[in-house]
Amino acid sequence: MAQKLPIDSNINSPNQVSIFRTAKPSSEFYTVFSEAEVLGIVQALESRWEIPLKYSYKGQGAKIWDSFYLKYIVPTWYRTSNVEIDLLKSNFAYLNGDYQQCEKVNIIDVGAGNSYPVKAFISRLQKIDKIDKYIALDISDELLKVSSKNFKKWFPLIDYTNYAIDIENNKIPENIFKNQLENTANIFLHLGVTIANHHDRHQVFQNFRDSMAQNDLLVFTNEIGSNSQWDGIARGGCKYHADQVYGWLTNNLGMEAEDCELVRRYDPAKDSIVANLKLRQNYTINFSYLGIDKSLEISAGEEITIWRHHKFEIPTLIQEIEQAGLKLVHYSTNKYSSHLMVICETASK
Ligand SMILES: C[S@@+](CC[C@H](N)C(=O)[O-])C[C@H]1O[C@@H](n2cnc3c(N)ncnc32)[C@H](O)[C@@H]1O
């Protein structure tokens, strides 16, 4: 007697039409992302099956990042060392205006997150009367709210402003430089190894370069090492942040938890470590929002990249910054030689 196949069976005989389950992004998804961002997500899915990590800091993603930071990164009695805080401290001589012989500095923190990493640094600048303004920029309005609340509580007397921008798609808006004091340099920070997460690092470096004047500096941190030599063990952000991003995304894309799994792997195409949402069922994702009406089909076994991290080897890092029209001023590593802070200026002085 012929056996009845389950309705969502994945067994495809030549004559059998594959069954696709339907995922409809939640109303929260459409509240969190602007129309341009929904289009950005659809376009990244269509072209390379990726939801760029930058979008995962928005909405509930801001709480996910802030909680991850406060639980796993903030210094405590049992974790006294913190990459950004330590490197800002050991590079202070480059970051207080002395290098450019400027009286004051404006700190422009791009991808500021909760602003916690700069607290000790700003406090030191304030003590020697070297800071004019702190400007927080971030793709996430919700993280800008966290940054504003923290910063104004810590430094009620320092001029604070913030703006939402996507540094992968835009240079820094010129209006933030108006009313700049004479003999003041801008220090652009891009901390938290954020440069490692971008799909298009070259464009990010170029957008920084195009925003910089003669005395300005770009300061970023990253992990050092070889991506292809990864031992397969998920740690830090690759473990805890990726776990949370995965949970939020599967839920809000409208997929059933049992139809997906989270896998991490080395991505040779972009020489990165990635966390991917792997489908166990065929799915059609229906995006329907204002003028957007798009259906994407993804088959069981295929994967969507939702998190990525690129470690640098120092010679290629220097090559990348030079290709973007930047010039290395100085770099130094932390005490474990696992991370570095890079300071650059524009090459066209
Ligand atoms: C890894 S967190 C680092 C936060 C903070 N700098 C730190 O060191 O803790 C990355 C931050 O950059 C922001 N971000 C990511 N991609 C961005 C982009 N393309 N444009 C602007 N901000 C971005 C995120 O919203 C988040 O606040």
Is 286 in the same domain as 327?
A: no
72 in a domain, yes or no? no
2 in a domain, yes or no? no
Is 30 in the same domain as 141?
A: no
216 in a domain, yes or no? yes
Write down the pLDDT at residue 3. Answer: 41
74 in a domain, yes or no? no
Our mutation pick for probing the ligand 1 site, out of 57, 74, 169, 191, counting the most ligand atoms within 8 A of Cβ, is: 57
Q: Taking residues 260-275, what's their average pLDDT?
A: 97
Is 144 in the same domain as 214?
A: yes
Count how many Cα atoms sit within 13 Å of the Cα of residue 62 in the half-sphere of its side chain.
Answer: 19
Ligand 1 and 113: CB distance under 6 A: yes
Ligand 1 midpoint to CA 17 (Å): 43
Write down the mean pLDDT value for the chain: 93
Is 169 in the same domain as 121?
A: yes
Ligand 1 midpoint to CA 97 (Å): 24
Ligand 1 and 112: CB distance under 6 A: yes
204 within 8 A of 198, measured Cβ to Cβ: yes
264 in a domain, yes or no? yes
Write down the pLDDT at residue 210. Answer: 97
Write down the pLDDT at residue 246. Answer: 98
Write down the pLDDT at residue 203. Answer: 98
Please count the other Cβ atoms lying within 10 Å of the Cβ belonging to residue 98: 12
Percent of the chain scored above 70 by pLDDT? 95
Residue nearest to atom 8 of ligand 1 (CA): 192
Ligand 1 midpoint to CA 111 (Å): 3
Tokens of 39: 């289009």
Ligand 1 midpoint to CA 118 (Å): 13
Ligand 1 and 320: CB distance under 6 A: no
Q: Taking residues 267-287, what's their average pLDDT?
A: 97
Write down the pLDDT at residue 251. Answer: 94
Report whether pLDDT(272) > 60. Answer: yes
Q: pLDDT tens digit string along 86-97? A: 999 999 999 999
Write down the pLDDT at residue 14. Answer: 52
Tokens of 323: 């290709």
Q: Which of 75-84, 186-195, 284-293 has the lowest mean pLDDT?
A: 75-84
Q: What is the Cα–Cα distance from 280 to 20, expressed in whole angstroms?
A: 11
Is 274 in the same domain as 247?
A: yes
Report whether pLDDT(45) > 60. Answer: yes
Indicate the pLDDT class of residue 261, thresholds 50, 70 and 90.
Answer: very high
Ligand 1 and 54: CB distance under 6 A: yes
Give the β-pairing of 272-279 and 260-267: antiparallel
Is 116 in the same domain as 29?
A: no
Is 175 in the same domain as 322?
A: yes
8 in a domain, yes or no? no
Is 54 in the same domain as 119?
A: no
Q: pLDDT tens digit string along 89-122? A: 999 999 999 999 999 999 999 999 999 999 999 9
Write down the pLDDT at residue 78. Answer: 86
Please give the tally of structural domains in the chain: 2
Helix/strand/coil (H/E/C) assignment for every residue in the chain: CCCCCCCCCCCCCCCCCCCCEEECCCHHHHHHCCHHHHHHHHHHHHHHCECCHHHHHCCHHHHHHHHHHHHHCCCCCCCCCCHHHHHHHHCHHHHCCCCCCCCEEEEEEECCCCCHHHHHHHHHHHHCCCEEEEEEEECCHHHHHHHHHHHHHHCCCCEEEEEECCCCCCCCCHHHHCCCCCCEEEEEEECCCHHHHCCCHHHHHHHHHHHCCCCCEEEEEEEECCCCCCCCCCCHHHHHHHHHHHHHHHHHHCCCHHHEEEEEEEECCCCEEEEEEEECCCEEEEEEECCEEEEEEECCCCEEEEEEECCECHHHHHHHHHHCCEEEEEEEECCCCCEEEEEEEECCC
Q: Taking residues 54-82, what's their average pLDDT?
A: 93
Is 177 in the same domain as 136?
A: yes
- In the chain, the N- to C-terminal Cα span, in Å, equals 82
CA angle, residues 22, 25, 31, in degrees to nearest 5: 165
Residue nearest to atom 11 of ligand 1 (CA): 111
Write down the pLDDT at residue 132. Answer: 96
The residue segments making up the domain with residue 107 are 80-226+313-346
Closest atom of ligand 1 to CA, residue 169: 19
Write down the pLDDT at residue 141. Answer: 98
Write down the pLDDT at residue 18. Answer: 81
Report whether pLDDT(7) > 50. Answer: no
Between the CA of residue 49 and those of 17, 42, 43, 276, what are the distances in Å? 23, 9, 9, 10
Closest atom of ligand 1 to CA, residue 111: 12
Q: Taking residues 174-198, what's their average pLDDT?
A: 93
6 in a domain, yes or no? no
Does the CA dihedral 52-106-82-72 come out positive or negative?
negative
Report whether pLDDT(79) > 90. Answer: no
Is 123 in the same domain as 216?
A: yes
Write down the pLDDT at residue 349. Answer: 67
Our mutation pick for probing the ligand 1 site, out of 56, 114, 121, 138, counting the most ligand atoms within 8 A of Cβ, is: 138
Residue partners of 34: CB distance under 8 A and separation at least 6: none
Q: pLDDT tens digit string along 128-181? A: 999 999 999 999 999 999 999 999 999 999 999 999 999 999 999 999 988 888
Give the β-pairing of 339-346 and 217-223: antiparallel
12 in a domain, yes or no? no
Ligand 1 and 57: CB distance under 6 A: yes
Please count the other Cβ atoms lying within 10 Å of the Cβ belonging to residue 156: 8
Ligand 1 midpoint to CA 62 (Å): 10
Q: What is the Cα–Cα distance from 208 to 188, expressed in whole angstroms?
A: 8
Residue 126, domain CATH:
3.40.50.150
Residue whose entry in the numeric block shows the structure tokens 């004091």: 181
Write down the pLDDT at residue 2. Answer: 39
Is 217 in the same domain as 100?
A: yes
